[in-house]
Structure formats: C-alpha cells, structure tokens
Structure 1
C-alpha cells in the first residue's frame, strides 16, 4: 500500500510541475539584465521506508496460536443454560458439539433455512407462535450479522488492499472454526502479499481474534435458539393437547413436556440425527386428512384475506322452497359465490341451479340437503369466514392429539362429530358408514349415582375381537329401571310383545335380555371391542334415523348403518365366511359369537371438520356439527369438560 501511495505522490508532484511550466503569464517587456540570482532549491520529497512484515509462516503460526477451541464449548454450555425446560433434548442435538443451523461464517445453512420455513408456518397449523421465541431467533441472527460487520470494520481499518482483506477474511473464518491452516490462507492469497501487506495483516490478527470470539458465541446462541424452537415444534405436534375435551393441557403443562418426555423426543431425533427438518415433518400425523385440511386452511385464509363475506339478512318468510322469488336471493348468491360455490350472481328466483348449490351447501354443513332454506341453513350461512378458518385450525389441532393420528394398516375410525365410521386398509378408505352416536341430553344413572351428559359416546381406542350374529340384547340396570320397568308397569305383556326374557341367575339376581329377532334393539349384528365404557357398534331396527343429517340418539353405543355389509367384509376377510352362511345364521335367530383371528384397532375421535370425496375425484371441505359443544368449550376457555357429577337421590327409588 505504501509503494502505491508513493507512486501516486510522484505523479501528483510531476503534474504540478508541468502545470507550472505551461501557465499562460502575460507578456512583459524584457527587463535589463540583473545579476544572476541563486537557483531556487526544490523541496525534498521524503521517501518513507518500506514496512517490514512477518513471513507467511510466522503469520500462520500467529493465527494458530490464537485459535481457542474452548470458546465453542463455553458458548454452547452458556446457550444451553438458557433453556432449562428442554435441556435434555437440546443436549442430545448437540452431543457432537457441532452447530446445526449456522456455519462458521455466520450464514444459515440450507437445512437451517428449511427449518426456519417450517417454523414460520406454525400459525397455519393453528399453533400459538409465542412459545417459539421468534423474537429471540430474529435478535440472535441480527446480533450475528452485527458482529460480522464489526469483523469487517477491523479488516478495513488495517488492510488497505483487497488482497490483504481477502486473507484477513480467511483468518477470521479460521478463528471462528471454519477452514483452517496454512492451506486455507494460501488459497486466499497469503503467498501473494508483499512485506508491507503482511505487516498490516499481522496488525489485524489480535483485534480479529477478539471480535471473532464474540461472533462465535453469538452464532452458538442463535443456533441453540433455533434448536429450542424445533423442540417446541416436536412437543406441539407429538405431545401437547391444548384442545382435548378431557386431557386438556394448560400452556404451563405443555411447557414442561419437553423434559418429561425427553426420551421420546431424543428417540425421534435419533431417527434423522443430521436432518432436523425431516424430524419435524415426521412429527405430523400420518393421516392424509391432515394435509388435506392444511389446503383447506390455505383456501379459507385467502377468503379471510379478501374480506370474507357479510351476513345474509333474515329470511323473507319462514321457509324458502324452489320457485320462490325475492331480492333476498341476490344476497344469497353473493354469499355463496364468496365461499367459492359455482352459482350465477344474478337472479331473484330460487331456480334449479341455485337449488343444487344450496343442497351442496347444506350437505357440507351437516344439514338436511333437501334444498329447503330455513333458520338452520341461515345460521350456517352466517358463520363468518374467520370462524370457519378457526374451526379448520382446531380440526388440525385435534388431529395432532387424535387417537387415530398415526393409525396404519387395518383399522376402523369413528368420528363422533361427523357421525361417520370408516374402514381403512393400508392407507386407503375402503368403507364409509353413517352412525348414530350418544345423545347430548341431561340424564341420571341411579345405579352409579351420577348425572349429566352420561349418554355421550366416549373417545377411546380398543381392539375389535369378536362379532356376534343374531345377538341378544342385555340392557343395563339403568335401562331396565328407567325404561323397561315403567313400560312393564303400564303393559304387563310388554316383555312378551317385544321379546324380553327375565331369568334368575345362580346367585339369585335377575337378568333381563331381549331375544334375537327383528325387534331386537341390537338388530342382526354386533361388533365388539371390549372397553371400560361398555360401548360397541351394532345394527338397529330404527333405521329411519340414518336419513337424518345429525344423528345423536343412542345411550352411548354406536348404531351402524348397513351393518351386514360390514359383517360380510370383516368375516369374509378374517374367517373366509360367505355371505350365504352369515345370512343363514342371522335367519336362525340363534346368537352366535365369532371370535376374530386377527384383532384390529377401533379409534373413536371428535373432529368437527374434514375433507370428503365428492365424486369425479373431487373433494370438498365439510363442517360438522359441534354436537357435544367441545369446540365451543375450547373457544370459550372452558376446557376440560366436566360431563357428569355425583347425584344424591331424594329417595331410594332406583337404587
């Protein structure tokens, strides 16, 4: 640099001299000769001596002496100490003491970018972003960038040439744990530097060592902060239950899960130790329904972004049927169009085209799809886009803690909210049946001395072990006391008319059952998966109820539409039983219990939105009724739900 400056100085001086000789002075008459004066002396230009720098080998040795490997260990320990609530799992991520998301230069890696993209998407999954510490992540990255700028300022202060700066940058990288050794510096151009440049480079080493030490600490802090967010992601997807009606967890409880279940999280991370983004994606429920609901979330989020839709005014009359005319239908068309329904915008008549669209809307909102517009349809129309989006995100939340979230192979899934049963085989939905679930009424169980919502179908999982053809029905003591007893008192022949038998058992107690036959309340087949709730699936003689859109009429068991078709399927697969043989057993009205050779799981969940097929490989978002008000309890902060309480009878009746 000094040589370059010297050359620049002589050029300037020469130009000044030339400029002086060529100046245009006015012509004056020649003066008389005078005595010659002494020639003026030119000022001496002081030539500074060339700075002598250390040799390349000495520079390499100087840098090597300042590389402090203990900085990484100290910085990692300090960073981990800030996350006591997930320290065990974090320690497993850093057991090799290597950064996971940032490289030595302070740049975030490709996999780190992938992780940040997944983290940035948590709101789409219906998750609260606050526990992820996005502010800390942003601050950490900003602090790293500021420290890197400080390194550049150190280099600029000492190095006056680009060649020197390049080698200084390589030294900074070595000091931070990047490419190291003489080869790295030579590759950056160390052997091309002259003595003066090496002198300035040597002056860089000490301040660079101080600043790069700070940078290393900040990089570790930023790296661990991202990993801490990854662990929170795994907790939210695998362990947290912020919306479960009964196993509800508070934010404080969820915050403790990382340490309480560290073994499970460590095991998950061990499956892809070098790819945390893959670990995160593997934490999603395996059901395709989850990914389909995410697309629905995107669709409704776009509607919300556009302003959603306004309320439809009150109906011009109590019920509107095909052929009705009113300006009200213009607003209905606008409303349906806003949600993506294919309907003409103009028209004051309830014509065939609009009727079909209304029927589709009703079907997708669990209404009777008859096309008759009443208060129920109006109520669903006036649910805002924002509320629909919240409902979809809640469905995602419920799927993450669903019993069937990772179900695979051969299994049955019952969705209470949809009143629907599905048979799944190897990831494919083989069968779908309507079901009737438990009533939502207030009731009393005198034998157990409890009252409340005792008829609701419970959420649980159990193994299907047997199928009973032509079953008898053994009513519970509560049913005998509250229903059969009063019926018998009114009509002494009630038992005989309806096929009931009362018999005395060996211990002197009475047992009542209903014989097999067309009047039997279990119908012709019963599917049993033993559980503490005494719930099973069965046929029913009251098949007309399956025509209703919302079906909560049982005492808790699951009544099945078209049950014989399911029996044919299951017994054909498991016991190679033919349809003809099954029908023969049913016709004989002699109860036959068939033990399954291959047991399979039955999962019963409550999820109030789903994506359903609609023919021609099309799918649509369905919003199911919140029949047990579990969604309402979540949105109003009333979880966990308390369904029953102790009942103290005023008398001994029924006890």
Structure 2
C-alpha cells in the first residue's frame, strides 16, 4: 500500500471517531448547568463549520530517518482525536519538512514512512468505555510495540518499502576510470611486463571494479596494506621503491589510478621480499639458488582474500629464525648513531707498509689510532687497516687501495646497515620451508649442520673450495650415499692437471693409481676405491649441475686448520660416518657401514630425500643477540652489497 493512501486512511479513521464522540456527548445528561460551569481559561477553539466541533491546534507531520513509526507514549490512556497538518519543528533526531499550507490528503509525501504527531484532545470527557491495552514490551522494536498496543480491529499493516543503499562511488562507477587509467597505474620501472599483464587480467576478471578504494578513499584493507609498505625499511627493503599515490577523493580518475598503483606496489613488494631485487646468477655463475618468486595473480588473490592484507604481505619476507635475528640487529644498529669522527682523506696512490705519505696522520685518525712522529705507514697502521678491511668485506691486506679509501669515507653505522641488509638479502634466496629435517653447509664458517625440527642435532667441521675453485651456493636434495666410491676426475681438474701431465708422461695417471679410459678422441680418468681415494670411504650425493657433493677425505689433518678452504669445490666432511647415522637412519649405523669398507662400491638410498642448503652466511646472530662476522671468503658478500647499492 502506498504511504499516501495509508495517511489518507488514518485521517478518515480519526474523523469518523470524532463524529461518534460528538453524538454520544449530545445524548448524555450534562453534569453541570450552564450557571455552575467554570469559565474557560483556554483560547476559543476554532469550530469546524461542517462537524460543529472544536478543532485542536495543528500538529506536525514528521519523517523519520530510519523509517520507523514514532513510539507510542505510555501516558496515553486510550485513543485520541485530532487533525493532521504539517509542522517545521524538529523533534529529537527526526527530520522535518518545511511547513506546507496544503491539506493532509495532498501533502506529496515521499516514499519514507510518516508518523502522526497528534496532541491531546480538548473534547470534554465522555462515558465511552475504556479500552484495555496490553502492556508495552520494551524488548520489542517501536513498530512492534505500536502493533501490540493497538486494538486488532484498527491495526493497519505498514507498507513494504524498498531500502535505499548509497555507495560513493560505486564499483561500477569507477570501472571505466580504472580501465582508462590502467597504464598510468602500472607505470613502475621495475615491474616486469608479465606482472603488468597479470594485474590487468586480475582487474578484468573483476569487471575493473576497484580492489582497495571505497567511497572515502582507501578501504580498511588498503590501509593495512599501505602501513606495511611504509614499514619496508624494517626488513631491509627501500621504502622509496614503493611510493604511495596521492589523490583527492573527489577525483575519480586519480582514485582509479591509485587503486591500480597500490596493487602494483603490493606485487612488487612481495617479489622483492622473496629475493627479486637482484638476480644472484648475474653476480656469479657459482651462485645459483632457486628463487620462489610469487606471480602477480598469486599475490592479489591472497591479499584480497584476507581482512588484513598488510600481515599477509609481510609474510612474503623470510620466516627463518636467523632472518628475524638479523632484522632485530638492524633495528638495534639504527638506534645507535655512529660517533666515530669522519676524516676526509684525499685520493692518491695506494699506501703500503713502510711508505711515507702526508695522508698517514689522517688514516690513523680515521682508524682511531694516536698520532705518530713521522708520516710513515707503519705496522700498527697496516694492522688496523686490515682489521677495518675485514669488517668491511674487503681483502684484508693492509693496503690503502681506492676501494678501501671509499669505505673509510662511509660512516660505520651506514656500513653496518649495508652489511646486515646484504646478509638478509641472501636469506631471501632460500626456500621459505627449509624442511623439518635438513642439512645446512655454511661455506664461510667451514661448518656442516644437521637440523631436525628447528634444532641442531649434529654438526661437524668442513673443508670447502679454494677461492679459485669456490664451492657453489644453491639448494638441492640428498637422495643416496655411496660407500667405497670411485672418483671420476672432473673436466676442470682433467684439463688443468692431468692433460698436461699425460702429455709429458703417458704413465702420469697410472703412477698415481688412476685409470685412464679412452673414448675415441676423448679420455676419462677415474680413481678406483681405496684408502688413497680422494673421496675417502663415503660420499653423500645430491645430483646437481655443479657436480659437487659431500664426502670423506684421506687427508684428515687439514680439519685442524682454522681456515679450511682447500678443495676443488666439493665439501669434505669430518667424521663422515657420524653424518651417515643422521641421514640414513637406524637401519644403517656407522658400524654397519664400516663393515662394507673395501668390499666394492655400494649405493644406499636415503629413506626419503633430505633437503641440503649450501649457504654463504658471513653475518650470523646468535640467540643471545651477539653477531659473528666470518671472512668474505669468495667476495660474494661484497658483490651482493654493491649490487644493492647500485640498484638503489
């Protein structure tokens, strides 16, 4: 039923009841004679010329904001009469209309429900019997209370009205602007074409509706996302890589562009957090980790499916405990400003031990040494400079080279930040899940560890590759062990050592216990099993492109050295049969394995493949917060730090 019709029925009911009351009053005996009635103190009422009854003051017609009828007063004993007229007086939270001179039946009421503001009647009391109304239940809503209090025979059900929902602006309103501003929104220099296309496809799948914008700007989810981008520096990322767009909420074009730009920044951050800032394979052919870079489709699907996309975005950073310790150390370092006075040292030729130069006093001052009588680059200066070079990741040769001079001009705090950030970057190259049980070989530390459920259950010393035959950095899975292994001489050693020796002496290999096999114009050299075999009695295999593995060695005295970089690239393990206990399980104890020695080559498969990670951690933070720095054995740390600085 239309509201206007409802209001008309209400007015007709009120007038009909008033006629009935007037007739009843005329038939009843008067309680007073005219001479005994008290004079009226009220203003004379207007007499309706048709009905002959006094009319009350005009009430107000009000429109409720929440479309609910006004609550019935508990003080009214029964039904009252009155006429309907508009009023402009506001009541509480009611929205009133301007006074209108037209009758109630022609008010032009809109589709919102109307409440009748009816004052108490001035008609004298009659002998109409009282109507018993049930008590009002305060738990009911105002419309339900009105319906429960009114007599059933006069109850008028409210009309069914549609609800009005307002969106500013709606998704469909911005869809055209998003499609038009897609190119501008995706204009980030480091965002690859593949990611741009995936973001475009993600919006098209949503009919170009916004992902992060609501009627007032950033949505609640977007604000979480923006906050995480602002905290990029805490994870060693560069906040300027994720510049947030500036827009006015009234500019639909800027709103659309900002929505697309935030999606692009989130994708870029996620890929950077997983190690996408630099390509490690371009630094060295020996750094070949498998990066787990998420696609734009994966990132946007995950972020738009959660209430707090900021937390989901932060989770793309490495979850490893060592990474969290480095992050805490970075925050600690930034809290303490470097108080080392910087001294500007002019450029010049390299300075070595025993050289005289006017720059020597400046070098000593920069290194915190006292003044010397002569400007001679003496032993104490060279030692202090070598210590500085070691901490800076430079060759610790005690020579004031051009690179060392540049490092001396960098504040210690800034240099420390760069070192920690470079180490954090290398943790991004590892898989997010290292494996419940895994082996980790830290090359600069010369150590092998077996980790199970987050705890180190076995560790041993290792010998790694020499600087000119460095051990590669990568992750793989160990799947079998060979007892009594043969050693097939790799091509690099064959070319450098055996071919020249064979050219000079055809018996060069045989004299050393090697077997030479010819395949046409090609030859291969193999060392059979035995105590002189270069691989010792056992080797741990994880087939890879670098042809390296873990193995025993007949030259065990080298494990006593502090700096153990002696191999051609493979990792030699101290006490290898104890390591076999950990990887082969209880069925193959080291006693059982040792009984196989000398009985011919034997392959034993692992119960299940075991992840192994060859890493290059030069900065390691202990559980107590103490940071240990290992030598940059191959210069890989310096390469990473320089690459990050140059990219910035």
TM-score range (shorter-chain normalised) is: 0.5 to 0.7
Alignment of 1:559-574 (within 5 A): 559-571=572-584, 573=585
Change (3 A) 1:276 1:334: farther
Change (3 A) 1:364 1:597: farther
Mapped to 2, the partners of 1:478 and 1:223 lie a distance apart of: 54
Mapped to 2, the partners of 1:365 and 1:471 lie a distance apart of: 42
Mapped to 1, the partners of 2:271 and 2:492 lie a distance apart of: 42
Q: Which residue of 1 aligns with 2:57?
A: none
Q: Which residue of 1 aligns with 2:477?
A: 463
Mapped to 2, the partners of 1:561 and 1:80 lie a distance apart of: 63
Mapped to 2, the partners of 1:70 and 1:103 lie a distance apart of: 7
Give CA-to-partner distance per residue, 1:316-339, whole Å, 9 cap, x none. x99xxxxxxxxx99999999xxxx
Which structure would you say has the larger Rg? Answer: 2
Residue 545 of structure 2 aligns to a residue in which SS? coil
Give CA-to-partner distance per residue, 1:564-604, whole Å, 9 cap, x none. 32122212x2x611221122223x36332222231223333
Residue 534 of structure 1 aligns to a residue in which SS? coil
Alignment of 1:180-579 (within 5 A): 214=250, 222-238=258-274, 240-246=276-282, 261-269=295-303, 272-303=305-336, 305-307=337-339, 375=398, 384-400=412-428, 402-441=429-468, 455-484=469-498, 498=512, 500-502=513-515, 504=517, 511-571=524-584, 573=585, 576-579=587-590
Residue 596 of structure 2 aligns to a residue in which SS? helix
Mapped to 1, the partners of 2:420 and 2:518 lie a distance apart of: 53
Q: Report how many residues are paired.
A: 450
Residue 476 of structure 2 aligns to a residue in which SS? strand
Mapped to 2, the partners of 1:88 and 1:366 lie a distance apart of: 40
Mapped to 2, the partners of 1:297 and 1:334 lie a distance apart of: 28
Residue 585 of structure 1 aligns to a residue in which SS? coil
Q: Which residue of 2 aligns with 1:584?
A: 595
Residue 78 of structure 1 aligns to a residue in which SS? helix
Q: Is the contact made by 1:243 and 1:398 (CA closer than 8 Å) also made in structure 2?
A: no
Q: Which residue of 2 aligns with 1:38?
A: none
What is the TM-score of this pair, normalised by structure 2? 0.56
Q: Is the contact made by 1:364 and 1:621 (CA closer than 8 Å) also made in structure 2?
A: no
Select which of 610, 615, 618 maps to 2:624: 618
CA RMSD, Structure 1 to Structure 2 (Å): 5.2
What 5-or-longer segments of structure 2 have no aligned partner?
1-87, 90-96, 101-106, 114-161, 187-195, 285-292, 346-350, 355-362, 371-379, 381-386
Specify which structure has the higher proportion of helix: 1
Residue 298 of structure 2 aligns to a residue in which SS? helix
Change (3 A) 1:548 1:365: farther
The offset of 1:119, in angstroms, is 0.9
Alignment of 1:55-70 (within 5 A): 58=110
Mapped to 2, the partners of 1:366 and 1:124 lie a distance apart of: 23
Mapped to 2, the partners of 1:489 and 1:391 lie a distance apart of: 48
Change (3 A) 1:583 1:330: farther
Residue 618 of structure 1 aligns to a residue in which SS? coil
What 5-or-longer segments of structure 1 have no aligned partner?
1-48, 145-213, 249-256, 319-327, 336-349, 351-359, 368-372, 442-454, 641-655
The offset of 1:294, in angstroms, is 0.8
The offset of 1:386, in angstroms, is 1.6
Q: Is the contact made by 2:176 and 2:208 (CA closer than 8 Å) also made in structure 1?
A: no
Mapped to 1, the partners of 2:321 and 2:636 lie a distance apart of: 24
The offset of 1:497, in angstroms, is 6.5
Higher relative contact order (CA 8 A, sep 6+): 1
What is the TM-score of this pair, normalised by structure 1? 0.55
